[in-house]
Chain A
Amino acid sequence: MSTVLSEPRNGLRDAGARDATPGNAPLVEVDGLSVSFTTAGSRLTVVKDVSFSIRPGTVLALVGESGSGKSVTSRSLIGLAGAGARVEARTLKVAGRDALGLSEKQWRGVRGKDVGFVLQDALASLDHLRRVGAEVEEPLRLHSGLTRAQRAERVLELLGRAGIPDPASRVRQYPHQLSGGLRQRALIASAIANTPRVLIADEPTTALDATVAAQILRLLGGLVGEEGALLMVSHDLAAVASIADRIAVMNDGRIVEEGPAEAVLQDPQDPYTKRLLAAVPSLASRGRRLSDEPPAASGWAASAWVAAGTPAPGAAEGSATATPRAEGGHAASGIEAAGDAAGAALLELRGVSKSFRGFDSVTRPVLRDVSLRLHRGETLGVVGESGSGKTTAARIALGVEAADEGLALVGGVPWADVPRAERERVRRGVQLISQDPLGSFDPRYTVGKVLAEPLAAVGVRGAAARLRAAELLDLVRLPVSTLERRSLQLSGGQRQRVAIARALAVAPSVIVADEPVSALDVSVQAQILDLFADVRREYGVASLFISHDLGVINHVSDRVMVLSGGEVVESGGAEDVLRHPQHPYTRELLAAIPRLDARRGAGEPEGRIS
């Protein structure tokens, strides 16, 4: 049941180089593994009675969200579960060795020699003060007994094996001088330096662009020979789908489902697995909820938007803006352009270009002649990989940065030309939600104060403000007790909800969301995306949604704009662009999306999304 891969397998181990495992005995055998820690006086069991095995020539994917225990499990296989960890198991065999009760010294003989480990984000996982060559050489120095000259030669060989072109020039460079993909390859090269029998990869493709991630996955899959085994740990089901033979899903320290990859992905048995699969956004999931959370309560301060002039839910497009000044002291905050008919855009960029001066005083263009229009009530998805300029475009549309050339308009008026008296009101009409909301909260403030500030800005103070704050928290499904807490004490998902609540407090017409869910677990991401959908449905808020994740964009957007290298390469209605992409870059991007049914075999018709 091996996978069908287009590249010839190179193998972690050259056949016959070492004594072959007798028969088909598993290279990794784990039975009843439990890992617990003592923190703050209490014992916390992070891995509970986990069992699995990996046979030679196969890839096992360990999938779970943060806190599931998957990383600790993988690190227990090399004795690095963490200081103060108590590791217990009935059986723990790695690379043919009994690993129970190994001393630290014995473990050092195993690590880097029998087992190779690849961490995520090579920028942080490689010592940035050492050259790439030195990093790759380290395991050789520790285990191989080769001379310095021999090691140097082997390093070049390894870099080539990992797919790095022109290794001789890369060897002398420092990690930050390599691109993300090359760095990860270098990291992989150092892990396979001593041709270990087992390779463990912990989230190897996070922090990488989709196209590059796909290549790294192919590389990893290709490294597994007839004799080797790969354990891949990931939170992304789709990413593992392309190379895993078997998948084990972990939740709360336990394996809740395990089996052949196809079976787990196509016909999951466990409810958690089903939820996880249902939570992945894509073109196929448009229009349906991703999570189990019930729709957000409606009715909150719909008055705020009526006052702001946004059409009430269900109202026809282009209905005239209603009462400018509000009931209940709510100042209008919508964007009322002169002659704001249905066709006018809330936000617009016309031929915008922007360049930045880098640290080396070199001016690089970040945006080139970019245009976009965002209309009332719609969601425009802006997708591109890192460096495509999407954040800069968003910031210019938001009015917080100035374009070098071209115009940035709000409600038909350039930001710079908004009349003084209107400035505050217009400014409030466009709010921002960013990837990491923690930085956007004053570190001294409790959540209550964070919400009180925008409410005060729209004239709601005192008891009325407290009431509104509670309503806002209710809307984003946070308990009222959150008001007392500080932002540092909240989880990523909770912070994002508070950020959404704050943005809504001023009743904006537009929310610019810059990678709002990228740092979140899949299930939390699903909840936040549902929340966005609710808000949009209830209050008609338009949204400029930026993401590198095409699946997310597929799910939320009405219209899509694809950016590459600072230029718009394609734009149009979501269904059109995503089902029938015209531009080669768009096609490449779509092809790189990990698909849950990638294992169906090669030769997928282009553009088909799972």
Chain B
Amino acid sequence: MTSLVSDPTLLPSPPDAAGTAPVPAPPSAAVTAPAGTPETAGRAASPRRRAWRGAAARITVSLSGVFLLALLVAALFPGLLTRQDPVAVTLGVPLSPPSAGHPLGTDEAGRDVFSRLVHGAGASLGIGFGATLIAVVGGALVGLIAGLGNRLVDGFFMRAVDCLVAVPDLLLAMIVITVSGAGVVTALVAVGVAGIPSVARIVRAQTHQVRVSPYIEAARILGLSRTTVALRHVLPNAFRPLIPAVALRIGGAIGAGAGLSFLGLGAQPPRPEWGAMISTGRNFLVNDPLLVLWPALAITLTVLATGTLGRALKRRLEGRDLA
């Protein structure tokens, strides 16, 4: 609900402590002897605790993976998971509790909740993946151009990006929707475009950093051509932080899409979509809170799952293990 797709943990990490000057630096520690502030060095948990944490981390990652896989199946082949028609109105049994035919009960119009949930996965995941794709492709391009270009080019593109940032994502989405009408596709485009600035910033910062890295210079000194160095060293390293960023962004995009649908600006009824289900279910909150609970849970778990996978990826790429 906060800025729809900006995730500040994706901000480029602060630059390392000032590089060593040509003045003598202290001899590098060869062994594990605690250096620097002794306070946190050596403060490791007991081996049992570490094993616990490692196992817990592995379990959460696996669970997330399984959950997302199930969602994918739901999105692509909903028929596998439910027979009920999500928009079929069963007369006479609105708001009924879970039963044999309706594992999660029915909603206010007598439709099967479970099947609406399953079919809604398609819309939500669609917005999530689609918007992320737009944000990543657009952002990477802009960020790369800005990062590789000279000051003018850089300045121009970053100002343009700043304009996008100045308008809160939700409001930007609203403009798009006012202009083109509500619907899943417009929501997708809106969320996607709103996500371009953060990606662009990350890529640009990373490109800048890589450009002046000593290993780029070392490669040039070896006699490699500019193109070879760019393709072999600059690009892969510049895009490295993007991979976990993509995973993390998907969750945010899904939440954003649900938010738009909640406001009535995304998926239109009777199309099942989690945000919209929450919106209608809200009216019956006192009578049948479960109506809101299931889609809310679905959204939350999805965002958590993608987030967990994204963070695990990030840790893996940064060289730390899961524990």
Contact = CB atoms under 8 A, between A and B. Distances in A.
Note whether A and B contact each other (Cβ less than 8 A). yes
Contact of B30 (A180, A386, A493): A493
Nearest to B224: A457
* Most B-side CB within 10 Å, residue of A65, A390, A423, A440: A440
* Most A-side CB within 10 Å, residue of B23, B44, B240: B23
B97 interface: no
Contacts of B27: 65-66, 235, 492, 519-522, 524
B26 A120 contact: yes
Nearest to A433: B218
B22 A457 contact: no
Interface in B68-89: none
A217 B223 CA distance: 46
B222 A453 contact: yes
Interface stretch (B4-12, B31-39, B139-147): B31-39
A515 B21 CA distance: 10
B52 to A, nearest CB: 13
Given A67-B30, A442-B233, A432 B218 contact: yes
B34 A425 contact: no
B23 A207 contact: yes
Contact of B223 (A38, A41, A68, A427): A427
B243 to A, nearest CB: 12
Nearest to A333: B223
Contact of A444 (B17, B224, B237): B237
Nearest to A36: B42
B43 interface: yes
A425 B223 contact: yes
Contacts of A530: none
A329 interface: no
Interface string A423-465: 1110110111011100111111000000001100100000000
Contacts of B39: 80, 82-83
Contacts of A391: 22
Interface string A312-353: 000000000000000000000000000000000000000000
A81 interface: yes
A514 interface: yes
A46 B31 CA distance: 10
Contact of B38 (A68, A80, A120): A80
Looking at chain B's contact residues, the main secondary structure is loop
Interface string A480-522: 0000001010011100000000000010000000110011111
A440 B24 contact: no
B50 interface: yes
Interface string B220-240: 111111000000010011001
Nearest to B221: A432
Contacts of A390: 22
Interface string A291-328: 00000000000000000000000000000000000000
Given A442-B237, A444-B237, A39 B44 contact: yes
A362 interface: no
Interface stretch (B103-111, B151-159, B209-217): B209-217
Given A82-B41, A209-B23, A444 B222 contact: no
Nearest to A423: B223
Contact of B214 (A431, A434, A518): A434
Contacts of A453: 219, 222, 224
- Interface size class on chain B is 35 or more
Contacts of B218: 432, 440-441
A518 B20 CA distance: 10
B20 A72 contact: no
A524 B31 CA distance: 13
B33 A66 contact: yes
A11 to B, nearest CB: 30
A107 interface: no
B21 A206 contact: no
Contacts of A67: 29-31, 33
B39 to A, nearest CB: 5
A379 interface: no
A85 interface: yes
A460 to B, nearest CB: 13
Nearest to A520: B27
A439 B42 contact: no
A97 B32 CA distance: 31
* Most A-side CB within 10 Å, residue of B39, B43, B218: B218
A124 B18 CA distance: 10
B25 A435 contact: yes
Contacts of A400: 217, 220-221
Nearest to A512: B221
Contacts of A80: 38-39
A127 to B, nearest CB: 13
A33 interface: no
B38 A521 contact: no
A37 B33 CA distance: 9
A342 B129 CA distance: 67
A492 B222 contact: no
B30 to A, nearest CB: 5
B319 interface: yes
A385 to B, nearest CB: 8
B220 to A, nearest CB: 7
A84 B121 CA distance: 49
B13 to A, nearest CB: 13
Contacts of B215: 439-443
A316 B217 CA distance: 35
A521 B42 contact: no
Given A424-B223, A521-B27, A435 B22 contact: yes
Contact of A428 (B19, B41, B44, B223): B223
Interface in A109-164: 120-121, 124
B314 to A, nearest CB: 15
B226 to A, nearest CB: 12
B40 interface: yes
A459 to B, nearest CB: 12
B25 A443 contact: no
A124 B19 CA distance: 12
Contacts of B40: 83
Contacts of B46: 38, 41
Nearest to A68: B33
Contacts of A492: 27-28, 30
A435 B20 contact: yes
Contact of B44 (A40, A75, A235, A431): A40
A69 B213 contact: no
A15 interface: no
A83 B24 contact: no
A235 B22 CA distance: 18
Interface in B257-280: none
A409 B39 CA distance: 52
Nearest to B43: A83
A89 B302 CA distance: 56
B47 interface: yes
Contacts of A240: none
Contacts of B233: 442
Across chains A and B, which 9 residue pairs bring their CB atoms closest together, nearest first?
Answer: A82-B38, A41-B47, A492-B28, A67-B31, A439-B214, A37-B42, A83-B43, A84-B42, A440-B218
Given A72-B38, A442-B219, 14 more contacts: A39-B32, A40-B44, A44-B32, A67-B30, A75-B38, A80-B39, A82-B34, A82-B41, A121-B26, A235-B27, A400-B221, A430-B221, A519-B26, A549-B24
15 contacts: A37-B42, A82-B34, A83-B40, A124-B17, A206-B26, A386-B23, A423-B223, A424-B223, A425-B223, A428-B223, A440-B217, A486-B319, A491-B28, A521-B28, A524-B27
